[in-house]
A and B are shown apart, each in its own frame.
Chain A
Amino acid sequence: MNKKLISAGAAGLLLLLTGCNGGAAAKAPDALNPKDLLVTTPAAMTNLDKIVWNNNFGEPPSIDPIKSADYPASAVVSNLCESLFQIQPDFSIKPNLAKSVKNVDNSTYIYELQSGVTFWDGKPMTADDVVFSLKRQLDPKEISYWASDVTANIASVDKTGPNDVTVKLKTPDATFNNQLATPIGAVVEQAQREKAGVDYGNPGAGVMCTGPYSVGEWKQGASITLNRYDGYWNTAKKAKTKQIEIQFITDPSSIANALATGAIDGSYDVPLSAISQLSKSTNGQLFYGKSLQNMAIISTGTGTLGDPAVRKALTLATDREAIAKTVFEGTSTAAQSLVPNGGWNYSGTIFEDARKNLPSTTPNLDEAKKVLKDAKVDLSKPIKIVYPIDRTFYADIISEFANAGAKLGLTIEPSGVPGAQFGAFFSDPKARAGADAFVTTNYMNVADPLIHLGAIAGPNGIQNYSGFSDPQITDLLAKAKATSDDDARAKLTVQAEALIMDKEPWLPVVDSSTRLFMSKRVTGVPASFVYLYYPWAADLGGTGK
C-alpha cells in the first residue's frame, strides 16, 4: 500500500517537474473526437526475435484463465489460452476453437470443434478437454471468478460426437456465444490441470493451453517471457515475434521513463501522468484506440443518492466534459450512457441513433434543478462517495461533482479508503453500508450492450450492487436475451437502455480511449481495447526501422 502511495506522490511531483520545464502539462489537450479513435496500428513488416512490453497493471496473480478476471492476469493470459470464440480488434466476435455453432432456440448450442488444434505439449485438443474446461465454471472447488448468472444458467455440457460439444441452457440466452469469447469459453488440457493440483496457474505448474504463445521464464515480481508456439493451429495468425518479455512495472514515472528511453518497446493504457512526457517522445508514438472502458460512480441504492432524481440531477449539473479534458488529459470523452460509446458489434445504427434521445453531456443547471424537485429523500444529508485513496485522480473527479452538487444545495463528501479495503466495495454488501456511492473504472468484456446492461441493471446482474430492479427493465432485458435477430434484439436493448439511463443506477462520467504507446521499432498490435481477450502479442512485429 505504502509503495502505491509513494508512486502516486512521485507521479504528482513528476508532473510538477515537467510542468515547470515544458509548461505543457498545465495545458489540457483539445477534446478527443471518438470518430478519430483507431482500431489497429500499421501492420508488422518484419519478424523480430524479442520485444519487451510492459503490463502496467502488474503481475498476474495466476494465469489460470478462470482466475483471470482483471487487467493484470487477462492482459497476459489473452496470449496463452484461447476460448471457443474470439473478440476481434473491430469488436466483432468470430468462432475460434469452435469452428461453427448450431443454435436451437437460443437454449441449445451445438459446437463443432476446430480440427488440428494442439496444446503446447503437442497433444491434440479433444471434445473431452472442452467439456472438462466448460464444466470447471460449474465446479465450486475450481473457484472460477467467472462463475456468475451466465454460468449458473448452464443446464448441461456434453460430448455429443467425436468433435462436437453440446451446451444446454436453463433459459434462452442469445448472447451466450459472445460470453464464450471471454475465459468462460477458455479451453485447457484436462490431464495437465488434474496433475497440477493446487499449484495450477502458478509459476511452478503453470497451465497447458493452445494459444500462439506458451509460458517461458516467469521471474516473479519482475517479468514473464512468452515463447512463440510453433505448432499453433491457426497458421495465418502465427506469432511474428519469437519472444515477448512482459515486465510488471506499475510505478507511473518508471513506466514513462522506460518507454521514453526505449528500454521498453510498448505498453497498453499508459498512466495518465505519462501522457505529456510520452506525447513529446521522439522514440515512439502514442496511439488512441477505440475502447470499451468507462468511468462511473456506482450508487449503493441507499442514502440521499439512493433517489434516482438526485442521481439524475447531479449528473446533469456536473461538467463531465471538463473532467474528460482536465483529469483525463483529453484522452476521454464525457459519457452519455453506461454503455461506452461504440461498444457494440451489431446493429450499430440502432445503438447510435438511440444516443440522440439520451440526455446530452453538456451541463444544464436549470434542468437539474427541475429534476431535483421530484426527489423524495432528505436532501440535507451529505452524499458520501468512496474512492481508493492511492488513485488521486478520483478525488479530482469527485470534487467536480461536489462543485455541481453545491449549486443544487447538495453536500458531497469524498471518502478515500485504502485500495485493499476498496476492493471489498464490489463484493461485500457490508463494506458498502454507510456509503452512498463508490467509483469504478469499468469495462465491457465484449462489445454487447445487452450483456453489459444486464450485468448492471438485471435482477441478478454480476455488477448490480444496489439490488436495482425495475419490472419494465427486467422484462425488456429478458425479452432481448431470447431474441435471435440482431436488429430486433438491439431495438429491445436500446429501450431498456433509455429506461436505465432515466434511473441511473450508476452515474456515467467518461468514456475512455485506449492509450497505447509503441517505440519506432515495433508495430502491429490492435489499438482498440481487446488486449484482455485477444492474442495481441501475436500481431506484434517490427516496423523494419
Chain B
Amino acid sequence: MRFLVRRLLALGGVLLASSMIVFGGLYLAPGSPEQFLVQGRTVSPEVLAAIRSQYSLDDPLPVRYWNWLSGVFTGNMGRSLLTQEDVGTLIASRIPTTLALAAVAAILIIVAGIGLGILAGTRGGMAERIVIFGSNLGIAVPTFFAALVLMSVFSVGLGWFPVFGAGDDGGLVDRVWHLTLPALALSLPLLLSSRGSRGRRSSRRANRSTC
C-alpha cells in the first residue's frame, strides 16, 4: 500500500515537473504566440494587442502557469491557440480513436506475440528461425515505413483494408477493419514479446537439460 502511495506521489511529481518544462518551453520558443497565431500575415499592432490580452500573454510566466494549473484542476484546460477551441473538447473528440487504436494494438501484441513465442519455443527449428527473423525485422523497420508498405500491399494493391479513416461511423466491426493496419504497424516492433516468451521457454528447456 505504501509502495502504491509512493508511486502515485512520484507520478504526480513527474507530471507537475514535465508540465512546467513544457509550459516554460512554450515561453522560450522563438516567435511569440500572437505571431504564431497570425502566421504569414502582417496585422495591425492593435490586433496583436487584442490577442495578447485575450490570452493574458502579458502576465508573468509563473502567473500564467498558475492560472493554467488551477484551471486544469477545475476542469478548464484553456483554449487552443491554433483553433481557439476548448482544449478539453479537442482532446475528448480524439480520445476514442486513440484508445481504440491502442486496444487493438495491445490485443495484437498479446495474442500474436505470445502465440508466435509459444510456436517458436515449442516447435523450434524452422518455425523458431522464422519467428526470430520476423521479430528482428519488426524491430529494424521503422513504424512509418511498415505502415507505408502495409498500406501499399493490403489497401492499394489487394484492396482488403480502407486507405484512410478511423471507422467511427459504423459499428465495432467497421472500427476494427479501419484500425487493423495502423495497429499492425504500431505493434510490429513490439512483437518482440514473441522473442521474450520464446526466450523464457528455451532457457527453461536449458535448465531442464542441466538437471
A interface residue numbers (CB < 8 A to B): 6-7, 9-10, 13-14, 17, 61-62, 69-70, 140-141, 143-145, 147-148, 152, 198-199, 201-204, 219-222, 247, 249, 253-254, 257-258, 260-261, 263-264, 420-421, 423-424, 426-428, 431, 462-464
Contact = CB atoms under 8 A, between A and B. Distances in A.
A257 B151 contact: yes
Nearest to A260: B156
Contacts of A426: 39-42
B43 to A, nearest CB: 5
Given A14-B148, A426-B41, 14 more contacts: A9-B144, A62-B83, A143-B51, A145-B38, A147-B47, A202-B83, A202-B84, A203-B89, A257-B151, A260-B156, A263-B164, A423-B31, A427-B40, A462-B41
B56 to A, nearest CB: 14
A431 B40 contact: no
Contacts of A143: 37, 47, 50-51, 54
A204 B86 CA distance: 10
Contacts of A420: 29, 31, 36
B58 to A, nearest CB: 15
A147 B166 CA distance: 38
A260 B151 CA distance: 12
Contacts of B93: 203, 219-221
B203 interface: no
Interface in B8-58: 29-32, 35-44, 46-47, 49-51, 54
B162 interface: yes
B14 to A, nearest CB: 21
- B29, B30, B31: residue with the most chain A Cβ atoms closer than 10 Å: B31
Contacts of B51: 143
A307 to B, nearest CB: 24
B19 to A, nearest CB: 19
Interface residues of B, number: 46
Given A14-B148, A152-B44, A424-B30, A257 B84 contact: no
B67 interface: no
Contacts of A220: 90, 93-94
Contacts of A202: 83-85
A69 B156 contact: no
- Name the residue in B46, B82, B84 with the highest tally of chain A Cβ atoms < 10 Å from its Cβ: B84
Report, nearest first, the 9 A-B pairs whose CB atoms are least far apart.
Answer: A424-B31, A423-B39, A140-B46, A220-B93, A140-B50, A428-B35, A426-B40, A427-B35, A6-B144
B155 interface: yes
Contacts of A257: 151-152, 155-156, 163-164
B94 A221 contact: yes
Nearest to A202: B85
A222 B165 CA distance: 7
Interface of B: 29-32, 35-44, 46-47, 49-51, 54, 79, 82-86, 89-90, 93-94, 97, 144-145, 147-148, 151-152, 155-156, 159, 162-166, 168
A362 B65 CA distance: 56
Contacts of A141: 50
A203 B85 CA distance: 8
Contacts of B162: 263
B50 A10 contact: no
22 contacts: A61-B82, A61-B83, A69-B40, A70-B40, A140-B49, A143-B50, A143-B51, A202-B84, A220-B90, A220-B93, A247-B164, A249-B164, A254-B151, A254-B164, A257-B164, A261-B163, A263-B163, A423-B39, A427-B38, A427-B40, A427-B43, A431-B31
B89 to A, nearest CB: 7
A204 B156 CA distance: 36
Given A249-B164, A258-B164, A13 B148 contact: yes
Contacts of B159: 261
A274 to B, nearest CB: 12
A421 B26 CA distance: 12
Given A202-B85, A254-B151, A258-B163, A423 B47 contact: no
Nearest to A419: B39
B41 A69 contact: yes
A12 to B, nearest CB: 11
Max chain A C-beta neighbours (<10 A), residue from B84, B156, B159, B164: B164
B36 A424 contact: yes
Contacts of B94: 220-221
Contacts of A13: 145, 148
Contact of B43 (A145, A263, A264): A145
A427 B148 contact: no
Contacts of A428: 31-32, 35
Nearest to B145: A13
A431 B152 contact: no
Contacts of B152: 17, 257
A60 B46 CA distance: 24
Contacts of B85: 199, 202-204
Contacts of B49: 140
Contacts of B82: 61
A421 B144 contact: no
Contacts of A140: 44, 46-47, 49-50
A174 to B, nearest CB: 22
Contacts of B50: 140-141, 143
Contacts of B30: 421, 424, 431
A222 B93 CA distance: 10
B83 A147 contact: no
Contacts of A62: 83-84
B180 to A, nearest CB: 16
Contact of B84 (A148, A198, A261): A198
Contacts of A221: 93-94, 97
A201 B163 contact: no
Nearest to A141: B50
A148 B90 CA distance: 31
A256 to B, nearest CB: 9
Nearest to B39: A423
A421 B29 contact: yes
Contacts of A463: 42
Contact of A261 (B145, B156, B165): B156
A61 B36 CA distance: 13
Nearest to B46: A140
Contacts of A249: 164
A254 B39 contact: no
A249 B162 CA distance: 14
Given A69-B41, A254-B163, A61 B47 contact: no
Given A222-B165, A426-B41, A421 B84 contact: no
Nearest to A223: B165
A9 B166 CA distance: 23
A260 B155 CA distance: 11
